[in-house]
Chains A and B, each alone.
Chain A
Amino acid sequence: MPTPLQTADAARRLIVKLETISSLTAAEKEALTGLPFKLRELPENSDLVRQGDAPREACLIVKGFACRYKVLGEGQRQIMSFHIPGDIPDLQSLHLKVMDHSLMALTPIQAAMVPHEALLAITRAYPGIAAAFWRDTLIDAAVFREWLAGVGRRSAHQRIAHLLCEVYVRLRSVGLAQKDSFELPVTQAELADSLGLSPVHVNRVLQDLRRDGVIASRGRFVAIGDWPRLKAAGDFDPAYLHLKAREAA
């Protein structure tokens, strides 16, 4: 059984995330804290939700990294977004009943499941929460537009630098990055599958960025050696993340 402390942690993650993109009143925060979270632990590489599923609950990430993906012909995979604590990556399942993609744990995940019924009730009772959820899914779409522009028109160097900037800014906005470093528990093959590159190109670009002192990485941790250069290398402008505080100014 989850302890009250653990469900409070789930609520806190959700509130911290929503407050990066909208303003919540005390009553709205209290209502979010009262959601009936059901904690689940999922191992690395397991699916949280699969394409074709019709989920009746949504999945708040409390700990760990997840991604959205689709499997294409010949076992090829396209990763479409990365998700961090505080995100509800399948929030759209509240209104789009059948999943058109899958959601996978890239690390062991602690998730807090919330029944759709409870989410629908809270959005009816608190229009401010409905607006925050709406804004969150609109920002999702903005991120997809940015990724599409990258996959279509950015070079391998730009795509990788842009992704590093995006993950860093998002983690920092929810208090999960250190001053100049962050955890990126993603393999080079997973980066390749997200950026439309071969693992060979991903490896080359990461080596270049390291050699030039733009980043340093040890295992799953990325240290930013030169933030202005990393931003320039990725042609990165955080406006599309629509964060309330301009985190990356």
Chain B
Amino acid sequence: MTFQPVIVNIGEGAEGRLVFQDDQLVAVLVQLSALHGEQAGGWFLEPGFGPLAGPNPPVFADIDAASEWLAARLTAHAAISPPIERL
């Protein structure tokens, strides 16, 4: 899994990471500003794609925590959803 730095426009430019796995974009993380109180500095799962999409996006303390969570979700999904075969 790789984390490519990017600036994300969330109303203003915010520090972000494009998250790739196997050359596919799987998520975008955005670092929370000082406006977010005790969560400031954490990484918010701004959008997750496919199995990482959901109604309750988490905030991670750091990139390592994000990496661990995202990888676990992707692995769990791959285990229950084998690639769709062409009809």
Interface residues, chain A, CB within 8 Å of chain B?
Answer: 76, 196, 198, 200, 203-204, 207-208
Contact = CB atoms under 8 A, between A and B. Distances in A.
A198 B36 contact: no
Interface in B20-68: 32, 35-36, 39, 44, 55-57, 59
Interface of B: 10-11, 32, 35-36, 39, 44, 55-57, 59
Given A76-B56, A200-B39, A200-B57, 14 more contacts: A76-B55, A198-B56, A198-B57, A200-B32, A200-B36, A200-B44, A200-B59, A203-B35, A203-B36, A204-B10, A204-B11, A204-B35, A207-B35, A208-B11
B55 A196 contact: yes
By DSSP majority rule, is chain A's interface helix, strand, loop, or mixed?
helix
Contacts of B57: 198, 200
A208 B56 CA distance: 22
19 contacts: A76-B55, A76-B56, A196-B55, A198-B44, A198-B56, A198-B57, A200-B32, A200-B36, A200-B39, A200-B44, A200-B57, A200-B59, A203-B35, A203-B36, A204-B10, A204-B11, A204-B35, A207-B35, A208-B11
A183 B11 CA distance: 28
Contacts of A200: 32, 36, 39, 44, 57, 59
A40 B59 CA distance: 39
